[in-house]
Chain A
Amino acid sequence: MTAQDHALCSHCLLPIGRRAMRRTVNGEACAFCCYGCCIAYQVKHGKTEEWEAAWLLIRLGVGGFLSMNIMLFSLLLYSDAFSGADAEMLPWIHLLLWLFATPAVIILGGPFLREAWLHGMEGRLTSSALIVLGVGSAYLYSAFATIEGSPHVYFDTATMVLMLFTAGYYLDAAGRARAARDLQPLLAAESEWATVVIGDGEYRRPVREVDAGVLVRVRPGERIPVDGVIMEGESHNDEALITGESRQIAKGVGSHVIAGSINLDGPLLIQSSGVANATRWAQICRSVRDALIRRSPSQRLADNIVGFFVPIILVLGIGASVYWARHLPFDRALLIGLAVLVVACPCAVGLAAPMATSLGIGRLARHGCLVRDPAALEALARIGLIAFDKTGTLTSGQARVVAIDSDGTSADVVLAHAAGLERHSEHGLGRAIAAAAAARGLEPVAIHDVRVVPGRGIRGKSDGRIVAAGSAALMRELGWSLTPNLVDYGRRREASSHSVIYVGWGERAYAVLSLDDTPLPEARSTVEALRRRGVRVTLLTGDLPAAAVRIAAAVGIESGDIEAGLTPEAKRAALGRRRHDHGMVAMVGDGLNDAPVLAGADVGIAVGSATDLAREAAAVVLPSGGLRTLPWVIDVARAVRATILTNLAWAFGYNLIAIGLAMVGVLQPVLAAAVMAGSSIIVVLNSLRLERLPEPAPSAAAESAPAPRSTATSNQKAA
């Protein structure tokens, strides 16, 4: 397999299987998954000045003109308009039909013949071979019949089959391209252009050639092509694709903008801050592209079946003709064989899985949820148990002051001192203390000469006294005493997995602050929503049992479903044990230290710090704050799986019944062609129902913002 075997169709963006068609449109090398996409793309993207797109339409138009006239005369023949006195006209009518049919068969059948020939040279039999064989035999038989003066000719069958297949493929491709709308912005990124400002001039440059420091102009409605800082202009941005939050964010001079977000309402001049290929947006695009090219289990199954489908049909078709030739006139037997060949095109089977999968992946990606492997999407639909990591997954990963145990001093005084110090700190715990003081309305004590003691804490001076906040080690370092009470408080808090900070001034420590992570506001509703979907929820954490129980209680996980104090390897083993009872298992982690267990689960889901796509272990990546989308992701996965199953059931069922009908001689070839064209359109329509799935539940932040979703989508199209 070479790289070109792993491409996506230029028109419908579905992965190209083993039957790629290559054409040059507008000087660009394009690859197509089928003839339908090839025509549809050329019609849509061929330049008016250029001859090719029009030439294609002319061929189709003239082919249509000829085959419609043939059909018309044949209809008149069938309705016996030329019977009786007009019977001597028959040979001339047949000759006329032959005259019309020859160019029509050449014009419409050429591409099929070419494809069948190319694949034949590679030793592969494809559906074009079936069409060529069927149409060819109908045409040749009719030509002989005309010469011999036989009463029946089948030029109409030959041309209408070609016409119906061409039209069916075209409609099919049009439907698939519509389905690819969600994917378009993601996959077009690599060929996207940026307007670069150099001096007084503006130039269009491919995004990948835009370096750091370059000025880029972005108009309202356009997608921002690079990460950078706004130098001029004000606007609102929609960063839904990157952060998962669908709301408008006001941006002005100095604000950072992210590549891939949409500039909604004002022109911006941006100084690029990084090479475009390295942006998260570029990573998302690559990730989605890779996912589409990978094959899911059901897709592999379908591909394998299609592989030996065509030879079997060929045998069945010829067999049917040979069998019926002993009981019926030769032309009737030929028609029956032809109907078998025509009706059994496996297009619908080949389309069943990729169509639904790419719709699902596109839909999820639009909300920042990345599926990096279609197999994970299929597994997610069958998940029986989801295990959560604690810190950073169910909790915010940001600390909060939960208790102040003081040794005789008022809590407020302690907090005011601590806050005075921590004002100067960037540490996460420090921010939590400052926030707690602010929440109580305390004025932080003024402290100067503040120094951070790495790994220990922070110290400074106030009114000539030393003030310090930090570990017991820091207190000892300062030579301060810790009363047994204080030490006891600290131990107990540590036992329930709180972080503790001693605070003191002058010559002793006065109190111990306990800090802990808080559960995410959406964690509880997510757990409930998962349970409603019949998914069992457990907590696997490396933290101490006490902390695990407290968080589990807060988010609604039962105590029987907790395992604490696990190393990453032990987590993986714990998950493996659960697989016996629950079938498919998923692990949700923040990706930082959960790599082994994310990789060990049937579906690894990285959340929270998922901004870094380098977490190779996870097959599904949710955006920061994307925990609430998890139940929705499962809904989408289930809908995709259901769609694949109905698609496959329809495609196989239809083929079996239609082949059966054709073999017993009930199905006319023209009808067979019409039914066949309809069959893959039904698969497309069935898959398009996925578009009607509800949107994910909005976050609390998005609810309070004015609903921007509709604007965002329309702008997305414009961009």
Chain B
Amino acid sequence: MSAYLIIFFAGFAGSFHCIGMCGGFACALGRDPQGRGATVLRHLLYNTGRLTTYCFLGGLAGALGQLICTPQGTTVPLLSGSLDTGQRILAILAGLLMIAMALQFFGLLPRLHRITSGSGASTFAASLRSLLTAPGHAAPLAFGVFNGFLPCPLVYAFAAQAASTAGALPGFLTMAAFGLGTFPAMLLMGGVGRALAPAWRQRGVWLAGSCILLLGLVTVGRGILPFAVHFAHGWTEPA
């Protein structure tokens, strides 16, 4: 459970960093002329769309992890049992990837950012713009769904974490926790606009980086250390 909390916090902190891209969308989504209730609904739908995509990616990554670890496709205990070799390798890879992401958040790996949020993102985003101003409730939902697919290092980091859980359900829960973590900042952005001071964003970056680093180290540890079985048991079993 505590692992999901960390993920939630990483999502929360990371969403301040990601205000550059997603926050801009939330702002652009703006207020509904029909009043406060309609505005809240609009933003909730947008975020639900985003959450759906994150959950889907998480479930898919988890299922893929499961597929890699157990060729027979049978169930895998949610990290409460012993880890097999495939899962260990997967955990180490995912952990290393997350550590790399964290270092990039701290500005220590500048080149990675270009790879993770390439030029494709901007063209994709540009073609979605017409959705922002479209009327109706389906528009913000659709926009959120597409938004979830926008290349973003945070999403990659947690998709990797989801894959290392080697199960559709824990993968789904991982990304759901992450997605829910991004809710407060996004809703805030929709309501208050660009009110957040740059200093807060910087703090968010450090907090998110720390969370991802911690998770990355734990994940790598789970793959390497023999006692990690017990360690992981306490960390990642969902409530």
A316 is an interface residue with CB less than 8 A from chain B: no
What 1/0 flags go to A52-64 for Cβ under 8 Å of B? Answer: 0111011111101
The answer to whether B49 touches A65, judged by C-beta atoms less than 8 angstroms apart, is: yes
* Contact, CB under 8 Å: B53 / A57: no
Chain A residues positioned under 8 Å from B49 (CB to CB)? 61, 65
- Interface positions, chain A 46-75, Cβ under 8 Å from B, are 46-48, 51, 53-55, 57-62, 64-65, 68-69, 71-72, 75
Q: A58-B139, A68-B56, A69-B52 are in contact. Are A75 and B168 (CB under 8 A)?
A: yes
Chain B 34-75 interface 0/1 with A at a Cβ cutoff of 8 Å (1 = within): 000000000000000100110110011011001000000111
B196 to chain A, nearest CB (A): 28
User: Which A359-414 residues have a C-beta within 8 angstroms of B?
Assistant: none
Considering the complex, give the chain A residue whose CB is closest to the CB of B66. Answer: A79
Per the 8 Å Cβ criterion, residues 69-128 of B in contact with A are 73-76, 127-128
Cα distance A217–B131 in the bound complex, in angstroms: 36
Using A48-B133, A79-B168 as known contacts, say yes or no to A71 and B59 having CB atoms under 8 A apart. Answer: yes
Q: Which residues of the other chain, B, contact A71 by a CB distance below 8 angstroms?
A: 56, 59-60
Considering the chains assembled together, what is the distance between the CA atoms of A79 and B144 in angstroms?
27
24 A-B pairs with C-beta separation under 8 A: A44-B127, A46-B130, A48-B129, A48-B130, A57-B146, A58-B138, A58-B139, A58-B142, A60-B142, A65-B49, A65-B52, A65-B142, A65-B145, A68-B145, A72-B56, A75-B60, A75-B62, A75-B172, A76-B59, A76-B168, A76-B169, A79-B167, A80-B74, A83-B75
For the complex, give the distance between the alpha carbons of A58 and B63 in Å: 28
Task: Check A61–B142 contact: CB distance below 8 A.
Answer: yes
Enumerate the 4 nearest inter-chain pairs by beta-carbon distance, A residue then B residue, closest first.
A61-B142, A54-B134, A68-B56, A75-B168
Complex CA gap A51/B63 in Å reads: 38
Total interface residues on B, using CB and 8 Å?
34
Give Cα A54–Cα B128 distance, bound, in whole angstroms: 8
- Residue B18 at the chain A interface, CB threshold 8 Å: no
Residues of A with C-beta under 8 A to B172? 72, 75-76
In the bound complex, residues from chain A placing their C-beta under 8 Å from that of B138 are 58, 61-62
Inter-chain contact A58/B136, CB cutoff 8 Å: yes
* Chain A residues whose CB sits within 8 angstroms of the CB of B53 once the complex forms: 64, 68
A707: Cβ under 8 A from any B Cβ: no
Q: Is A592 part of the binding interface, using a Cβ–Cβ cutoff of 8 Å?
A: no
> A69 — which chain B residues lie within 8 A by C-beta?
52, 56
The answer to whether B143 has its CB under 8 Å from any CB of chain A is yes
CB distance from B163 to the nearest CB of A (A): 13
CB distance from A610 to the nearest CB of B (A): 38
Asked if B157 is at the interface (CB within 8 A of a chain A CB), the reply is no
The closest CB in chain B to the CB of A54 belongs to B134
Interface residues on A, range: 20 to 34
The reply to whether A81 and B56 form a contact with Cβ atoms under 8 Å apart is: no
Residues in B whose Cβ lies below 8 Å from that of A46? 130
Which residue from chain B places its CB closest to the CB of A67 in the assembled complex?
A: B56
Contact (Cβ within 8 A) B56 A79 = no
User: Which residue of the partner chain A has the closest CB to B48?
Assistant: A65
Is there contact, CB below 8 Å, between B145 and A43?
no
Most B CB contacts (10 A, CB to CB) among A48, A59, A65, A76 go to A65
What separation, in Å, do the CA atoms of A80 and B53 have in the docked complex? 22
| A65 with B134: CB separation less than 8 A | no
Is B141's beta carbon under 8 Å from chain A?
yes
Interface residues of A in 492-514 (CB under 8 A from B): none
Q: Cα distance A61–B63 when bound, in Å?
A: 23
- Smallest distance from the beta carbon of A176 to chain B beta carbons, Å? 15
Residue of A nearest to B166 (CB): A79
Chain B: minimal CB distance from A508 (Å): 79
Smallest CB separation, B25 vs chain A (Å): 13
Q: How far is the CA of A54 from the CA of B134 in the complex (A)?
A: 6
User: Is A57 a contact partner of B128 (Cβ separation < 8 A)?
Assistant: yes
- Our pick among B56, B60, B133, B141 for the contact of A61 (Cβ within 8 Å) is B141
From B131, B136, B141, contact of A65 by CB (8 A) = B141
Q: Is the CB of A61 within 8 A of B75?
A: no
Contact yes or no, A79 B75, CB < 8 A: yes
Contact B146 A61 (CB under 8 A): yes
Contacts of A72 in B (CB 8 A): 55-56, 59, 168, 172
Q: For B62, list chain A residues within 8 Å (CB).
A: 75, 79
Q: Check A57–B167 contact: CB distance below 8 A.
A: no
Chain B residues within 8 Å of A60, by CB: 142, 146
User: 5 additional contacts, CB 8 Å, given A48-B129, A69-B56, A72-B55?
Assistant: A48-B133, A60-B142, A65-B142, A68-B56, A80-B75
Given known contacts A79-B66, A79-B168, is B59 in contact with A57 (CB within 8 Å)?
no
In the complex formed, the residue of B with least CB distance to A49 is: B133
Determine which of B55, B56, B127 lies in contact with A43 in the assembled complex, contact meaning CB atoms within 8 Å. B127
Decide if B134 touches A79 in the complex (CB within 8 Å). no
**Are B130 and A62 touching (Cβ within 8 A)?**
no
List the A side residues contacting B130 at CB < 8 Å: 43, 46-48, 53-54, 57
Q: Please, which residues of chain A bring their CB within 8 A of the CB of B139?
A: 54, 58, 61
Cα A71 to Cα B66 with chains together (Å):
16
CB distance from A81 to the nearest CB of B (A): 5
- Find out whether the CB atom of B168 lies under 8 angstroms from the CB atom of A81: yes
